[in-house]
Structure 1
């Protein structure tokens, strides 16, 4: 431990996404003098905004899961609790090789919670439906050792459930295939439910029932970007120093006093360099950056074999299209990778989903958002992500018309924007949770430094909010005599 001072007074947070903002908030509330540095501007990471046709819309996350109250509680602390809104109860759809179908209304992650839903027979076919119902009679040990969500579903319910129900949901939400999604990372309670109830359907139903009544998600009037804005406002009130436009090259620890120094450059200003020092260091970045910065101070055995998370391109369209007033596909669709004629993996009909968006857009005007970037196609020159923005907009207009069943032409397009996320989603493959655990365990033996973020906490706001504040509190306690 360092001996230069009786208590750590200063802290440096690298990364200005939600986890970084939350970490800075916790440190500042504990009385630390905090500096937060971020490469991009504005702050907030994947919880940001953009403007189209006079509308301020979410450029990333547009809702949060309500299975626990942690995000709701945070919004209450930030004065936004009365701004929480529920999506319109129109339901979502699936776009399969056979066409568009209403999504089953039970279960989680596309896993049916009941076999009584008549939509299942349409979606799965007679043979697929019969195979799925074997879940009720299989021994509870079947699938209990599965490592990935795909393996679990395939063993319990069969390939058709995996292809037609689970894969479209997982691909649309997490930008990966269920065979690459570690259960321990994304849905550990499913295996617990399987052991308790003896069937995957019952476990899925129980997990859904554990959510508050009504929708499993909620939003904020004006967009989730207001969460980032509120956090930034609070940090400014707490006198946190916010620095954007700097990329951290490396961090160094002075062995004489234990202080951490970040060496940074400003790419947009002629590579100008800067140095910032503090008693405590919190790295709130993607996995690759965190391992690059902290790896030299940890044993090689503790460094996880991190891979880049999936890339995603979000195409937002503002349309003058009164034919969409009937909300023909509910709040949107998740698209099977086996469907032809459509390249998008998901579509959100924002004006159908959120009343506040419809009110601000006006009569006959609609906001549609499509997601592109199938897992496994990232480096292909034929990938949708390789298209230029204007090409993606043209593709999005075509796909929106096909998915919604309403002809759309360029004459109906009022405005469009493409937002590309390259590090927003963490990799969640087999072994990820063990690698994260080893990394964080090693960090406990490194004075004055730690890491937070989606790659260690898990995907989604609930996971990040649940993890960040308690972890920073334990970190400060562990380093209280620095």
Structure 2
């Protein structure tokens, strides 16, 4: 008689799983490991890098410990606040400076509209849009409320949808700078359902794309639509690591998985790591339940032998991004001349950065730690050109050259003198797989993958490539998926216990 994994040969009934294996030590993997351990399972977590947290990490620049990746979380849901409360970090939640960000267009710098989502304005007639759009651009955008709801409803890319409803000027001057700065992707290549679930449904409901964007924005709590932690979001990763260690989770770094398979000797799964430093010997980690929390291409590759036609689910590799952080002695920046930072139009030729964050103006804790007249700027490189998969030349520059470019770009964007003599310290952080590439068709591949993996026993997959970019999406989806896995194996979730 053949029995399912976890069943006993004597009875054929399911034995309650006692162990779990998590592959990937980013926030999704750490959160999954925490919830599995909290339910009473013995958990092993393996991570290919030498550190945990993925894109939520820290680096030291001029004596300041700063975020090296994600610096905030969206407040549109309670997923991250609930996790922070569970980790006793709620008292450290802070809001950004409400001054808001600016745009840098070919004409120069101007305040960015502060309504809507993804650069789509909630009110296309707002006077604040006139400098960016001009009268003709505003007139075209206002047509959105008069067009039938069917116009653009079938478009798959964000760019095509915005162009159909609001015109090219809104797309080029508002949406593209936002999307390029946040997603390192051109709107024409961005799957609208992947980055803005509900936007097309909102168009059908409200008959207007601007109204749909306003409705999505209204779902965020009053005030700022992002928040962070005093001391940086890197504390989330650090606290998660300490928490899972306290729960007995076995965590292993530098564990580059080369194979994933069923365990032939016991119920469940095993992963194999090659150890070149030990004569190419292999190490094996096991678990009855499996959580794949690696990036999309890695997850599909490792799961390939257990999914039919697996390659059709595989996402493209994520965009390559470089972040150049500058710490400057520059009193001219004390007045935050560009608010909390700028998003840069791809039509701007004299600047190569796609975005600049004035971190010491955006976050009071950074200014406090930096001290008087000292400022922290973070410039993001990796502009996305529609139809191109080539690595942006700025990303390929050596660190020293990129820092020099960042100083020059900062001077232009901020409109004040910034020179090498004012530089106190700098660092470059490069991300290759931190952002998933949510190109057109991505949401369908995700849905197909999740349907397929349901047929594979005792395994789930989590991460930004499945949930959508941003901590709010990642945390919410991870905890939901883990809760389902636990319930399917007879464990109570926190909601059931409460």
TM range (shorter): over 0.9
Runs of at least 5 residues in structure 2 that lack an aligned partner in the other structure: 9-13, 492-498
Q: Does 1:343 find its partner at 2:372?
A: no
Q: Does 1:398 align with 2:408?
A: yes
1:475 aligns with 2:480: no
Secondary structure of the residue that 2:348 maps to in structure 1? coil
Change over 3 Å in CA distance of 1:385–1:379 after alignment to 2: farther
Q: After superposition, where does 1:44-443 map in structure 2 within 5 Å?
A: 44-255=53-264, 257-266=266-275, 273-300=282-309, 303-376=312-385, 380=390, 383-443=393-453
SS in 2 for 1:146: coil
2:427 match: secondary structure: strand
CA distance in 2, matches of 1:13, 1:143: 41
Determine the structure 1 residue equivalent to 2:30.
Answer: 21
Task: State the TM-score, normalizing by the size of structure 1.
Answer: 0.96
Instruction: State the distance in 2 between where 1:393 and 1:162 align.
Output: 30
**Post-superposition shift, 1:276?**
1.2
Instruction: Please state how far the C-alpha of 1:255 moved relative to its aligned partner.
Output: 5.0
Q: CA deviation at 1:476?
A: 2.8
What is the aligned length?
481
Alpha-carbon distance between aligned partners in 2 of 1:86 and 1:438, rounded to the nearest angstrom: 38
SS in 2 for 1:44: coil
Q: Give the 3 Å change call, closer, same or farther, for CA 26–303 of structure 1 in structure 2.
A: farther
SS at 2:438 equivalent = coil
How many Å separate the matches in 2 of 1:267 and 1:130? Answer: 64
The alpha-carbon deviation at position 42 of structure 1 amounts to 2.1
Deviates more, 1:412-421 or 1:199-208: 199-208
Whether the 8 Å contact between 1:302 and 1:442 is mirrored in structure 2 is no
Q: Which is further off, 140-149 or 17-26?
A: 140-149
Deviation at 1:242, TM superposition (A): 0.9
Tell me if the contact between 1:246 and 1:267 (Cα under 8 Å) persists in the aligned partners: no
Alpha-carbon displacement from aligned partner over 1:77-113 (angstroms, at most 9, x marks no partner): 1111111000011110000111111001221111011
Structure 1 residues 382 and 335 mapped into 2: Cα distance closer, same or farther (>3 Å)?
A: closer
SS of 1:385's equivalent in the other structure is coil
- SS class of match (2:303): helix
In angstroms, what is the RMSD of aligned CA positions? 1.7
Q: Which whole-Å CA distance do the structure 1 matches of 2:198 and 2:450 have between them? A: 22
Structure 1 residues 79 and 97: CA distance shift in structure 2, 3 A: same
Deviation at 1:35, TM superposition (A): 0.7
Q: Which residue of 1 aligns with 2:457?
A: 447
Deviation at 1:286, TM superposition (A): 0.5
Counterpart contact for 1:111–1:166, Cα < 8 Å: yes
Runs of 4+ in 1 over 6 A off after TM superposition: none
Alpha carbons 1:197, 1:203 under 8 Å: kept:
yes
The answer to whether the 8 A contact 2:467-2:473 is kept is yes
TM superposition shift of 1:126: 2.0
Distance of aligned partners of 1:30 and 1:132 in 2 relative to their CA distance in 1, 3 Å threshold: same
Gap change, CA 1:473 and 1:222, over 3 Å in 2 = same
2-side partners of 1:476 and 1:310: how far apart?
34
Assess if the C-alpha contact under 8 Å between 2:258 and 2:274 holds in 1.
Answer: yes
1:386 partner SS:
coil
Paired with 1:15 and 1:301, the residues of 2 have a C-alpha distance of 20
